[in-house]
Amino acid sequence: MNIVRIKISDWRSTAARELVLQPGLNILRGENEAGKSTIVEAIQKALYWDHTAKKGKSNNVDFIAPVNNPNARPTVELELLIGSSRVTVTKTVSGKKDHRQCTLKVLDPQGGERTFRDAQAEEKLRELLARSHAMPGLDWSEQSEGYAYLAESLPIAACAALSIGKDGTIMPSARLEQLRKRIGAARDEQLNKTLKQPLVDSAKSGTLAYELRQTRQQKRDELATVKSQLAKVDELRRSILKLDREAAGLGPQLEQAKQLRKTRQAQQKRQKEAEGVRAKCSDMADACRRDLAAAEKRMEEIESLRKQRDSQTQSCDQLDGQLKQLDPARQAAIQHCERIKGDRIKAEGALESVRRRIDAHASRLEVFQQTDACAQAQQSFDQSEALQSALAEAEKAFDAIGPWPTGEDIGRWRKAFAELSALKRDAMSSLQLNFEPARPLRIEWSADSGSAQALTAEPGAPATLGAVRSLRLEIEGVGRLQISCGATELAELLKTIQQQGDSLNQSLSAHGAAADELPGGFDRLEEIRIRGEEAERGVKEARRQAGQAGRELGDRDRLRKQLKDAQQKLTSAVTRLEALKSLVPEGLDADGLRAEIERLKDEERAQQTIYQKLVEGGGSAERELAALDKKYSLAEQQLSQARAAAGEASRRLVELERDGLADDVRRQNIQQLRVKTAGLESEVEQAQQAVADLGPAISDDELAAQDTKLAALDGKVGELNLQLAEKRAELRTICGNDPQGELERLEQEIGELDARLAGEERKLGALALLDGVLTQQRQSLARLIAKPLNERIAPWLRQIRGLPTELEIDADTSRITRIITDRGGYRDELPFEEHSEGLKGQVGLLVRLTLARLTAEQNGGQHFVVLDDPLTETSPFRRPEMFRILQQAAEHLQILLVTCHEDAVALLPGHVIAF
């Protein structure tokens, strides 16, 4: 493809300009700001600016319209030769959408012309450019890029584009490289911002995927909870089923246990009943046996009694015989005894007579003696009584006197009385003086005690005392001193007297009684005193005498007792003598009596001896009789016993035979009882067998144990039911939250989140894949172009540097890593970026020209390259060599060199367009 002509209008500061280019080298020369780059820009816009694309930063063309005419429509018309077709593209490049337009005319070699407009024109243009391998990166370099030269095509298998970046990176195509960068960035973004889990675990910094995962995790957690709830539900349901089954299993057991218990209870009852029957039978059998035994015993007893009765009757007869034999001897003995007894009674009478006579004599003697004793005792007593009487008299006299004052007392009283009298007189005087008493006072002793005695006034008493007041002076123990006066005011005086009287009273108190006896005043007192002292002496004497008599005769009681005893003895002796008085001759005194007594005692002794003998003889006969009596009594006793026994036997027999049955009947009855007993015993055996048949006896303990088991079972069933209720309640609580519904909801939500995450991951995968493929492509191209590029470029590098030079291209990084220079003995391998800017720019230009040339060769035609002042960093010494290389390249390429340097014009043979 070649550019044939370019025409612009209203393009920046250029109102209109048209350039015609030729094949080969075209040099657009001009001063700075002459508009050279405007031409380059216009070519670029005509070829690659899409007027249908949305307005954006990268395709902003607002600035292209002239500043002085913003409504102008900047237009470029570019005529191209593509293959054998002549193509004219016209674009109005404006920031205003309505102004934009594109027209494409294609004139084929046969003269056919087709015109395309707008989008269709754009599309057709892109197709044509692609077919000619035109590439924006290859076709021109921009002025500001300096050494960033682009090449688009290679003739080798890669046949793709390359670009060399400022860092020496070779890129398969600018577009691919841009794309790769964006994809890489997008991938990183997707990875870092969308999918990669943030390092900082916070909600704000979370990526989309992180949020999705977090949400999903939350949902999964919720799901796990719900699942656990459902598992719990299952578990509870299983537990309930199990418990239910267990409880249901226990139900029959419980029923069985209840039934068993009931059975056992019934069995126990039956056993008890059978036992009762057995016991009853047994009791009846026992009763029957007892009846039998009684009947038998009775029979035996009857027979025995009969024998006994007969035997005893026989014994009675024998004993009766024996008694009859004993009786004569016994009667003789009795008579003998009676005789002796008569004699002895007589002897006893004689002896008794003697003794009575002795006694009579002794009694008479006793009367004598007691009469004397009695008289003596009476005497002593009388004497004692006389003394006592005298003492009593003396004491009485003494007591009559009572206490008496001493002489000293009487003297003191006299003195006191005198003082009192004096006081009275003083008082009287005072009264008379002060009150002129109408009558004199009379003072009188009174022997009375008790109430006050009012004294009347004497007749003739001075009447000056209008009112008579009586005063009573009491001297306790002495008497009363009555004072009458005519003035109450005497009270003060009397008070004094009272005080003195009190004092006197105290003195007299001990002798009050004596004082009472002294009505005649102190003389009387004196008399009393003398009498008293005499009486005292009399008493003392009487006491002394009485005491002496007491000591000699004993006291009065003893004497009285002695007298009484003597009197009693005398009475007794007299009484005894009264009965025996006839046996004692009168006239005997005491001695005669005593002699008679002695004689009678001798007589008594003789009679005693006779009597003693009779007693002894009587004793022997009685003993003999006693032996016979004993024998007879024994026989009688035996007979009596035998008779009693026989009687008892007979009585008992009568009792036993009261039923009146004959012996045969009794025996028949006994036989019947035996049969009955045997029958009952059989029944007992049967009852026992029945009990035995009921099996071992069921005890209350056993039943209690059964009850315990039943209760335990019942308790277990209850417990199970309780557990069931608890489990059911728990289940009910859990199920109330609809875990199944929740599970379905959460699974659905998690599924949606999974799908979203999968989408994001798929997106990342796509980005990664594309990025990987692009990178691989770049690496592959880099490897492919390294050799041919070096082959083509090496002569040119040697030409400008004078040294064999080779580019080292790293396939992995797609970069020109080093420029290797063979300096004759050694290889200089300096990294690309460390070379001078000039060399780097030259290398870039050479790479671009090489690639463009190869592209042209590949297409079998020419290709154009626009170079906007590419050698600004190249030294003047190397520029000529570079121009020569440009000249060589222009043999195969259409080159539009834009420059402000004159040397290019001078050195390069080409079509010069001057600005």
Judged by the rule CB under 8 A, the positions of this chain that interact with another protein are 50, 53-54, 56, 58-59, 123, 126-127, 129-130, 133, 135, 152-153, 158-161, 172-173, 175-176, 178-179, 182-183, 233, 236-237, 240-241, 727-728, 731-732, 734-741, 744-745, 748-749, 752, 755, 762-763, 765-770, 772-777, 780-781
Cα separation, 652 vs 785, in Å, equals: 168
Q: How far is the CB of 129 from another protein (least distance, A)?
A: 6
Q: How far is the CB of 25 from another protein (least distance, A)?
A: 26
Widest CA span in the chain:
245
Cα separation, 205 vs 662, in Å, equals: 137
Nearer residue to another protein within complex by CB, 160 or 896: 160
| Helix H or strand E segment including 214 | helix 208-401
Nearer residue to another protein within complex by CB, 682 or 740: 740
Give 518's contacts (C-beta < 8 A, 6+ positions apart): 524, 525, 527, 528
Which strands sit side by side in the sheet containing 443-446, from one edge to the other? 443-446, 479-485, 469-475
Nearer residue to another protein within complex by CB, 219 or 879: 219
Q: How far is the CB of 122 from another protein (least distance, A)?
A: 9
Nearer residue to another protein within complex by CB, 327 or 752: 752
Q: Give start and end residues of each alpha helix (H) in 694-738.
A: 700-735
Nearer residue to another protein within complex by CB, 48 or 445: 48
| Helix H or strand E segment including 868 | strand 863-868
Cα separation, 567 vs 199, in Å, equals: 159
Nearer residue to another protein within complex by CB, 266 or 722: 722
Q: How far is the CB of 696 from another protein (least distance, A)?
A: 46
The answer to whether 905 touches 27, Cβ cutoff 8 Å, is yes
Nearer residue to another protein within complex by CB, 154 or 471: 154
Half-sphere exposure of 291 (CA within 13 A, CB side): 19
Cα separation, 160 vs 382, in Å, equals: 201
CB neighbourhood size of 873 (10 A): 14
CB neighbourhood size of 368 (10 A): 17
Q: How far is the CB of 39 from another protein (least distance, A)?
A: 23
Q: How far is the CB of 743 from another protein (least distance, A)?
A: 9
Nearer residue to another protein within complex by CB, 668 or 737: 737
Q: How far is the CB of 236 from another protein (least distance, A)?
A: 7
Q: How far is the CB of 870 from another protein (least distance, A)?
A: 23
Cα separation, 395 vs 374, in Å, equals: 31
Nearer residue to another protein within complex by CB, 135 or 573: 135
3-state helix, strand, coil in the chain (%, to 5): 65, 10, 20
Nearer residue to another protein within complex by CB, 865 or 871: 865
DSSP state of 861: S
Q: How far is the CB of 228 from another protein (least distance, A)?
A: 15
Q: How far is the CB of 78 from another protein (least distance, A)?
A: 17
Q: CA of 355: how far to CAs of 322, 580, 587, 605, in Å?
A: 48, 11, 21, 10
Q: How far is the CB of 850 from another protein (least distance, A)?
A: 17
Give 452's contacts (C-beta < 8 A, 6+ positions apart): 470, 472
**DSSP string for 249-295:** HHHHHHHHHHHHHHHHHHHHHHHHHHHHHHHHHHHHHHHHHHHHHHH
- DSSP β-bridge partners for residue 767: none
Nearer residue to another protein within complex by CB, 406 or 775: 775
3-state secondary structure of 894: strand
3-state secondary structure of 690: helix
Q: How far apart are the first and last CA of the chain?
A: 25
CB neighbourhood size of 528 (10 A): 24
- DSSP β-bridge partners for residue 258: none
Cα separation, 165 vs 147, in Å, equals: 9
Q: How far is the CB of 761 from another protein (least distance, A)?
A: 9
Nearer residue to another protein within complex by CB, 34 or 743: 743
The answer to whether 541 touches 394, Cβ cutoff 8 Å, is yes
Give 390's contacts (C-beta < 8 A, 6+ positions apart): 542, 545, 546
Q: How far is the CB of 159 from another protein (least distance, A)?
A: 4
Nearer residue to another protein within complex by CB, 419 or 761: 761
